[in-house]
Each structure stands twice: as C-alpha cells, then as structure tokens.
Amino acid sequence: MLPTRRLDVASSLLRENQHKTSGPYLCRIRNAKIMTESVLESTAGLAGAHDQAGGEQATPIRVLLVEDEPLYAKLVMHRLTSFSAMPMRPAHVSSLTDATSHLSATRVDVVLLDLMLPESCGIDTLVRVREVAPHVPVVVLTGHGVDDLISEALRNGAQDYLIKGNDEGLVVRSIRYAIERCRAREDLEKSQASLRQTQAQLLQIDKMDSIGRLAAGIAHEVRNPLAVIQMGIDFLKKSAVELSEDIAETFNDMESAVDRSYGIIKGLLDFCVPTEMHWESLSINSCICQIMPMFRHEIRKHEIEFVPEMDGALPNLMLDRNKIKQALLHLVLNAIDAMPDGGILTVRTFARPLYQPKEGAAKPALDEPGQYAVTVEVTDTGCGIPEEVLSKIHDPFFTTKLVGSATGLGLSITKNIVELHGGRIDIKNSKEGGVRATITFVP
C-alpha cells in the first residue's frame, strides 16, 4: 500500500472511532496509531529527498501547532512537512505556556490553536495567545458541536477554524486563507488610516481658509476702533494739566495694549492676505548680517554666546529682502527666548548637494542651477520643544509662551514666507539638546 493511501486509512480509522473507548474499538485505534507512525517513518526520507532535488525553495511558512493530543499532532505535523506546493516550517508545543513562550521568542507566520488545553479552556485560550502575538493569524482547532465557540472565536480575532477529524486536506488551505485574510485586514487598516489622515488634512485646509477670511475681516474692523482709542489717549494726555504717577502709568499701559493689538492685526494680515513680493538676487549671508544688530541687545542681556558659521561661497538666491529678514529674525528670537539663562546660539549657512555625482565625474559648480540646496540652520542649546507639541508649532495662534507675551503667529508667518520662496522649513529637537530650525532653498 502506498504511504499516502496508508495515511488516509489511518485518518479514517481515527475519525470513525475517536469517541469510542472500549472493546474492539481501542484495538482499532491502536492499529491506526501504529499505521500512522509507520507512515511517518517511511515518508520522512521521501520529504527530505524532495527538498534536495527541488533546488531553491520559497521562504517557508513558520507554523506553530498548539495541540496536546500527541497522535493528532503527529498527523497535522506530517501534513505540513509533506506538502510540497507550499513549504512549511512547523513547530509543535502541547501547552499554552510553551506556546506563549515560543511566540515571544520566535517569529511565527500562523498559529494552529487547540482551544481545549490542560491549563486553558475555550475562548480564553485564544485571548491569551492574541495578547502575546496580536498580529499573527490564528486558526482554531475544535471538536464537533461547538458552533457557538467557533463564532465567538472568529469575533475575537481568529482567522479561520478546523474541526478535528473532519479536516483532512483542509489544513494547508486554512493556513493560506488565514495568512491572506490577515494581510488583507492589515492593508485595509493602513488604507483607512491613510484616508483618515487625508480627510483630517482636507478639513484643516478648509478650516485654515475659513479662519483666514474671518481673521482678515476682523483685523480690518478692529483697526478703526483702535485708532479712535489711540487718539483718545493722546488727547487726554495733552489735555491733562498734571498727571499723577498712577495716571501716567495707566496711559502707558493703554498705549502698550493698543500697540500690541496693532501688532496682532499686522500679523493676521501678513498671514491671511497675500502681499506683493519684491524679488532680487541676494546673498542669504547678507540678510543674516543685516538682522544681527536687531538681536545683539537680547543676546547680551541673556549672556548668550553667538556663533555665526557662514559659507562665503554660496550662490545668490532670488529673495524678498524684507520678508526673508522677517523670517530669519523670528527664528533667531525664538532661539534666544529658549535660553533665558544663557547658552549658545549658532547660525550656520552651507550648500548641500542634491545629488551624489557618479564615481569619477567632476563635481558641479556651486552656482550650477539644480545641483545644490542652500541651507540655513539656527540652533540653540535651550530646553527643546515637548514632543507632543512639535506637530502644532506652525498652527496659527499656537504658542508655548506665557499668555500675553506672544501672539502665536510668528512660526506660521515664517513658514508662509519660506514656502513663498519655494523653500522648506524643518524644526526639530537636537540630539545634543535644544532645537534646530532648518530652512532649505534650491537656487
């Protein structure tokens, strides 16, 4: 009798007599067990010879069989190792403890899980396996008459099920199905996450557009009352014969509040209303040098060491002088604010090649268009930005500073200015501590 045929006979004997435990039936089960072991021994060499003759094989599927019945486990392991169309690398454990240990230490592609184990019974077995390996597909193994248990297992993450004694020829199909279904679910989850992210971005764009229109209208409407308030303050100051110290201080506070309101309005208009750009060929280094006097007092006040590292051979860029100076100054002042007790402020410029030249090729000239990116880095040694707010720093009105000390528009305006120049801004924490703000332009 051929080995495969003998194995089929053994399987049939086991199915017919699996619930009978006395008389001649025990003898038939023993005979089936002997026949099965004989088949396994006689076909072991054939499987090895097939692997050697087949040459290079596909990556084997790592299967973990969790089954406490030795004879059934032998049958399943044989089916897995002798299936040539899909190479398998099965492993067998007989307890839930061994299964969780194996899953924690070894990569597994699919689990064949008996729900009725000595130390665990029913759906709790599946739950404990999925706690250890939530992304590994599971095929549950059960007996007859447990439809409710099967349904509950599928609801709790099992990809498929097999009924013992009625699973001949279905094990490999079920493994294939479970893996593909798990992959499809993961792909669907990724697609859904990407869709949610896109929807959130579209909502944010729409919200920002609405805020922009609203803010521009409010800025124009508020400016007129502020002008009246300022005129009233000036009139009262000139009309008063003598101002007490308290009244003079009150007038000064009112003027400061009006000035700050004007600053907010200007920031809103800069952010919301497109303004005409005045382009000219400029050195980014000259723009940095022109803003240095504007922050010199602040770095002296906070005892900050200023380290300029500027590459003098950089090509000129087409820039709007005033807008780019505004953006650079804001980044520098942010860095200074992050170091109230002193530190090191570094402003660095350099050219970074966009493409690596081929081996033996001549290095392109710095002024050759499209070959280099001109980069400006502003680095501080302050406390850094909390990771949970890094994604919000470019949002309008978002600020981590004290209420009243900042409008929260600076980085939003800076980002807009850089993007108007076709550049990119990146702000992140440095490994050494502090923050590195990087602006990149492509000439």
pLDDT (tens digit per residue) in 140-178: 888 766 778 888 888 888 888 888 876 656 787 888 888
Taking CA 68 as the corner, what is the angle to CA 121 and CA 9, rounded to the nearest 5 degrees? 120
pLDDT (tens digit per residue) in 199-254: 776 776 666 666 667 766 777 788 888 888 989 888 888 887 777 888 888 888 88
Domain co-membership, 142 together with 212:
no
* 190 occurs within a structural domain: no
Domain boundary residue, one of 37, 55, 73: 55
Domain boundary residue, one of 272, 295, 327: 272
Among candidates 57, 153, 56, which has minimal Cα distance to 112? 153
* 189 occurs within a structural domain: no
Structure token pair of residue 95? 């307890």
Domain boundary residue, one of 223, 248, 272: 272
Domain co-membership, 74 together with 99:
yes
* Tally of structural domains, the chain: 4
Whether the pLDDT of residue 328 is over 90: the answer is yes
Domain co-membership, 117 together with 145:
yes
Domain hosting residue 152, numbered range: 57-169
Domain co-membership, 9 together with 144:
no
* 179 occurs within a structural domain: no
pLDDT (tens digit per residue) in 290-318: 989 888 888 999 999 999 999 988 989 99
pLDDT in the model for residue 53: 40
Domain co-membership, 295 together with 393:
yes
Domain co-membership, 374 together with 292:
yes
Domain co-membership, 229 together with 86:
no
Output the domain CATH number for residue 293: 3.30.565.10
Domain co-membership, 245 together with 336:
no
Mean pLDDT along residues 285-289: 94
* 147 occurs within a structural domain: yes
Output the domain CATH number for residue 80: 3.40.50.2300
Domain co-membership, 297 together with 394:
yes
* 322 occurs within a structural domain: yes
Domain co-membership, 26 together with 61:
no
* 26 occurs within a structural domain: yes
Whether the pLDDT of residue 288 is over 90: the answer is yes
For the ranges 11-20, 33-42, 128-137, which has the lowest average pLDDT?
33-42
Mean pLDDT along residues 169-197: 83
* 218 occurs within a structural domain: yes
Domain co-membership, 286 together with 266:
no
Domain co-membership, 251 together with 293:
no
pLDDT (tens digit per residue) in 115-145: 888 888 888 889 999 899 888 999 988 876 6
* 121 occurs within a structural domain: yes
